[in-house]
Structure 1
Amino acid sequence: MKKKKNLPETPEEIASYFTAQQMAEWKKEAEGKLRTYLFVMSKRHRRIAWCSHCHHFVRLNVSHHRKETACPHCGSVGEQIHGWRGYSRLHNRILTYTYSSVADGALVAVSLYAEARWYKKGVMPWRVCPTVLLDSVSVFRIGEGGAMACPAHGRWPTAGCSLDHVMLPRYRGNNYKNMGVSVLWRIEIDEKSFTRAVKRTPFRYVFCAIPAKKRNEILRWDGAIRLLDRIACYPFAVECLAKMGKAMQTFLFYTIYNAVWSKAINWKGKTLRSVVRGTLTKEEKAWLHEKGEALIPSVLRAWQELRKKGIQQTLLPEMATTGYSLRLYQEVPDVAPARILRYLKKEQCKGNYYVDYLAMCKEMNVDLTSKANLFPRNLRQAHDAAMEHARTMRELKWLRERRKDAQGMDAAWEEHRAAVEKRYGFTADGITIRVPEKMEELIDEGNAMHNCVGTYVRRVASGRTIVVFIRTEDTDERLGTMEIAADGTHIVQARAAFNADLPQDVQAFVDKFEAEKINPIGMAG
């Protein structure tokens, strides 16, 4: 990790940001946040239960297994568990985040992992001690970034044994998934400690601008670890976006938690113009304040490219409404954006639809310098026609490649074609068996009969299976396709067009063929 002037560099330095007394209090609070259960362990005394939250024996008004009940002593709500009904898989796990601040303005986030395996053979629940382990400690300092101390291996039971590794802060809840008999139930955030800690640090300038509802959403996502780290590294850029209104705060949230979105912002910028990589007009600022959540990175990056070229007339609201994205700009960089926007409004189509059309035109080498091709009168109709034409071209290209591969298999097929023709040549009732001369004929047969025999080229050429065609003797009309086992012991399949059953007369011919040509003992017999 890159050295920072005021950031702690070792696990011991990070651990010095809290005292043993604070840690003991945090562990006690984490244990109290585990899910509450009321254990009823005697059939004779069904209304006597032990509460896992307050650790008292209480009397219940109603005793019912798995019923949600409030503890008469502490008021905590939890399920009743009747011990004789079995609870061997009762396993409760949470990850908690607690926050504090220090005098020099740093903010500390402490993560604790708590679990309770309530079932132990021969041990009553009140003898079970929940486990609370220190998962990680993160320190954030404005302008410096963040540092996190955690176990080097990152998985329980290593967690809490030693904080021996320093890295950039990140959410570690994924380390506790799929462990034992239950998933990580939830992350528990101490929101009061977060509010107190933020108020005493420069982080308040960002979090005071964010509404409580959005702030709580970020906290419950990952304990706000990634947002705190981004604020610590790039305080000005984050504060600029946060203070542009609720709509832009949604955009900010996505840019922090999505690497693709993050590229649209210059996080190291020291002015609003440098942060968004362009000068915003009053109209654009007002739109971002009200409808910034409709902004996506590809549109913003297209706007940035236009501003870089000196094009000031095209405004961000129009680009977002029509979907003028970076990809559309890259497809036709020399066409005036205003012209494209007018065209999209007229056709009532989004930019991604137009981008697909342009990409298919380039794939088919269509002349886009022609106005009729660049701006077709009916975009939807032109798009569908181009899509169908592009699909046909791809199929033809694929067919050419398959034919080329089939031609390369002809030499291998020639080695045993004569033996197959001699063995399986057969004619009866005006119907005949025809053995393919070239491997390309399998592809033609598959296309004509609408089946998958065209994919059998390698197997037929190598002698791993045998394919013959069922045709009329006089006109060579296609009646069916038949596959025979390589050892000649049985017919694998015989199907008509579209893999349908053979007509009755053709099936009778196949039965005669099988009686005369197929040897259950094999070709050697």
Structure 2
Amino acid sequence: MKLEKSELDEILAHFPEKINQAMVDYVTDVVLLSSRYIFTKRSGSGQQYGYCTHCKKTFKTPNLKHNENTSCLECQSICTVKASGRGRKYLQDRGYFVWYEKSLVNSIAITARGIEVYRDYSGDYKKVQTDFHVTAIYLFEPGKTLMIDRYYWNSSWRKRKSIISESNTSKKNIRCYYSRESIAEAVKGTLFQYSTWEKFDHNELLEFFDLAAKYPCIEYLSKLGLTNLIKDKLVGRKTYSAINWRGKTLDKVLKLPKQEIKAIRDSKISVSYFSLYLYHQSKKDGSNLDLKEAVHLSHLVEPFREDDLKVLQNYTTMRKIYSYIKKQYANKNKKHYYHAPQVIGTWKDYIADCKKLEMDITQESILFPTYLYKAHQDTIKKIKYKEDQELNELIAKRLKVLNSYSFEYKGFFIRPVISTKELIDEGNALSHCVGGYAKQYAKGGTDIFVIRKVSEPDKPFYTVEIRNNVIYQAYGFKNELPTKDVQAFIDAFTKAKLTKRSKGRKVAV
């Protein structure tokens, strides 16, 4: 949103107009520390001389070679040697940093500026200057925050809808820094000095101060030892509405009785949003898990099975879910349940099969079979799936993207399922229920892949479900877990195709 001049002037009044000496020193000593050169040339007698761009002195040198690193004989800085006679058309250094300061208008507010710095050595290397270009500014006042940045094609300002870090967007391909010393100075005498910012290091702390300005409870949570909740919020993980961010007291924030908050403080229980959600849900259904049980249940369910748990909540209480998962996992056959969340997945699929077979799942003997794995295998055998041409057409459209995940490694390969018939054949051959995933797969609710041996490309071997770039489940014949060599292949596939690589480089100094 483009800013009117009056609004822009009101915002800019919070910020100093000039770059101060502390910022200049920070750029010299941190952001562009590697931008130090010794340019060499020879006199008529053959003596080599060097000029240091840091201390700006000329001196006799030994025979230095182009592009080697050495210490300046005058200032002792580590510099890169450059032969002055070589072309310097592309010798330019760039960096970006975020600098915090107090507001010039509001004594309890803090500000930050995102600044790009640039040096160009293509001309006279003895006259190189550091150019400072403010590309984003941030204002953090209690209850209110804002960010404005420049349009990339001109120098006019626009207001952002939310606080973002340029190091993850327009500056992700250059070296990025932020000054924690500037933060320490900026927060003195403001409410932010109690925010416990010292415990965090995420995206130049811009999102942290955004949260701290809007929700003073950040301080309460951090001092209670629940910094993990704040970190999860900062990186955008699901919060399940487990926190009342606008609560004025800790019991209102956590929606917990004061005695249980004391128990968290005394026992140092590691509480997550999900465990708080489970605790609150058990209160609603009357089964009343205590906080330790809710935390344990969250470990049994996570990762990736929250949606499956919500399906189970339609049929029973949290306490019964908790007890049944523990019982099934304690009696586990290692071929079927490598970790507890797989019990949840099997149980959810079993219930779906029961509904298709019109079994009465209100009966506890059906809803809670003594041996879940065997009960699920029995329902799989009774269900017959049919090929669906309409779904095949949707799958064909999805393959344009999913084929890019195909991968081969050490005698195995993985590719997406190509049709409902293949899903049905896969399930029949391996005696598992993947045939029932056709509609969900075709409509993009999940991704289904098959693993094959290179030597037997058409023989069903293992089936893999992927959601949000995470392997949700991987099963072979009769839901057998991956063998060591198959798991090694899955790990290699995950690293090559599913793992997101960090593009931005951020350093706090």
TM-score tier after normalising by the smaller chain length: 0.5 to 0.7
The answer on 1:274 being equivalent to 2:269 is no
2:147 is matched with 148
C-alpha distance in 2 between matches for 1:70 and 1:251: 47
**Deviation by residue 1:317-347 (Cα, 9 ceiling, x = unmatched):** 3323433775314423442323332332232
1:229 Cα deviation from its structure 2 partner: 0.9
2:56 is matched with 55
1:37 is matched with 36
1:15 is matched with 12
Give the partner amino acid of 1:192.
Answer: E
Counterpart pick for 2:295 among 317, 328, 338: 317
> SS of the counterpart of 1:20?
coil
2:163 is matched with 169
C-alpha distance in 2 between matches for 1:286 and 1:46: 73
1:97 and 1:387, CA in 2 relative to 1: closer, same or farther beyond 3 A? farther
The answer on 1:234 being equivalent to 2:231 is no
1:230 Cα deviation from its structure 2 partner: 0.8
Q: Does the CA-based 8 Å contact 2:52-2:72 persist in structure 1? A: yes
C-alpha distance in 2 between matches for 1:67 and 1:290: 53
1:98 Cα deviation from its structure 2 partner: 1.4
Counterpart pick for 1:337 among 318, 324, 330: 318
The answer on 1:374 being equivalent to 2:367 is yes
> SS of the counterpart of 1:105?
coil
Counterpart pick for 1:105 among 101, 104, 108: 108
C-alpha distance in 2 between matches for 1:57 and 1:374: 85
1:11 Cα deviation from its structure 2 partner: 1.9
1:373 and 1:115, CA in 2 relative to 1: closer, same or farther beyond 3 A? farther
Q: Does the CA-based 8 Å contact 1:361-1:386 persist in structure 2? A: no
C-alpha distance in 1 between matches for 2:134 and 2:93: 17
1:309 and 1:382, CA in 2 relative to 1: closer, same or farther beyond 3 A? closer
2:131 is matched with 131
> SS of the counterpart of 2:344?
helix
**Deviation by residue 1:62-96 (Cα, 9 ceiling, x = unmatched):** 72443333334444434333455655544322111
1:140 Cα deviation from its structure 2 partner: 0.9
Give the partner amino acid of 2:256.
Answer: G
Give the partner amino acid of 1:202.
Answer: L
1:189 is matched with 178
Q: Does the CA-based 8 Å contact 1:37-1:81 persist in structure 2? A: no
C-alpha distance in 1 between matches for 2:211 and 2:6: 19
2:24 is matched with 28
The answer on 1:299 being equivalent to 2:275 is yes
C-alpha distance in 2 between matches for 1:99 and 1:374: 58
1:258 is matched with 236
Ranges in structure 1 where 5+ consecutive residues have no aligned partner: 2-7, 406-442, 448-496, 500-525
1:253 Cα deviation from its structure 2 partner: 1.1
Bigger Rg over Cα: 1
Q: Does the CA-based 8 Å contact 2:47-2:60 persist in structure 1? A: no
1:364 and 1:41, CA in 2 relative to 1: closer, same or farther beyond 3 A? same
> SS of the counterpart of 2:288?
coil
2:434 is matched with none
Counterpart pick for 1:354 among 329, 343, 352: 343
1:274 Cα deviation from its structure 2 partner: 2.5
> SS of the counterpart of 2:111?
strand
1:137 Cα deviation from its structure 2 partner: 2.0
1:125 and 1:323, CA in 2 relative to 1: closer, same or farther beyond 3 A? same
The answer on 1:96 being equivalent to 2:85 is no
Q: Does the CA-based 8 Å contact 2:353-2:379 persist in structure 1? A: no
Give the partner amino acid of 1:338.
Answer: R
> Is the deviation greater in 366-375 or in 267-276?
366-375
> SS of the counterpart of 2:213?
helix
C-alpha distance in 1 between matches for 2:47 and 2:266: 62
Give the partner amino acid of 1:16.
Answer: A
Give the partner amino acid of 2:215.
Answer: Y
1:70 is matched with 71
C-alpha distance in 2 between matches for 1:228 and 1:330: 37
> SS of the counterpart of 2:38?
strand
Give the partner amino acid of 2:368.
Answer: F
Counterpart pick for 1:243 among 211, 223, 229: 223
1:60 Cα deviation from its structure 2 partner: 5.0
1:460 is matched with none
Q: Does the CA-based 8 Å contact 2:287-2:317 persist in structure 1? A: no
C-alpha distance in 2 between matches for 1:251 and 1:375: 34
> Is the deviation greater in 192-201 or in 359-368?
359-368
1:340 and 1:192, CA in 2 relative to 1: closer, same or farther beyond 3 A? same
C-alpha distance in 1 between matches for 2:218 and 2:79: 41
C-alpha distance in 2 between matches for 1:309 and 1:189: 48
Pick 1 or 2: higher relative contact order, CA cutoff 8 A, min separation 6. Answer: 2
Ranges in structure 2 where 5+ consecutive residues have no aligned partner: 331-336, 394-420, 426-456, 460-509
TM-score normalised over the length of structure 1: 0.60
C-alpha distance in 1 between matches for 2:111 and 2:391: 67
1:9 Cα deviation from its structure 2 partner: 8.2
TM-score normalised over the length of structure 2: 0.62
**Deviation by residue 1:393-429 (Cα, 9 ceiling, x = unmatched):** 5xx33x2548999xxxxxxxxxxxxxxxxxxxxxxxx
**Deviation by residue 1:163-221 (Cα, 9 ceiling, x = unmatched):** 4546543212344347xxxx312x222222211111221111112xx5x4x43xx2xx3
**Deviation by residue 1:127-170 (Cα, 9 ceiling, x = unmatched):** 3433210112211112x22122322x2x2x63xx3445465432
Give the partner amino acid of 1:104.
Answer: S
Give the partner amino acid of 1:63.
Answer: L
C-alpha distance in 2 between matches for 1:85 and 1:311: 78
1:124 and 1:263, CA in 2 relative to 1: closer, same or farther beyond 3 A? farther
1:59 Cα deviation from its structure 2 partner: 5.0
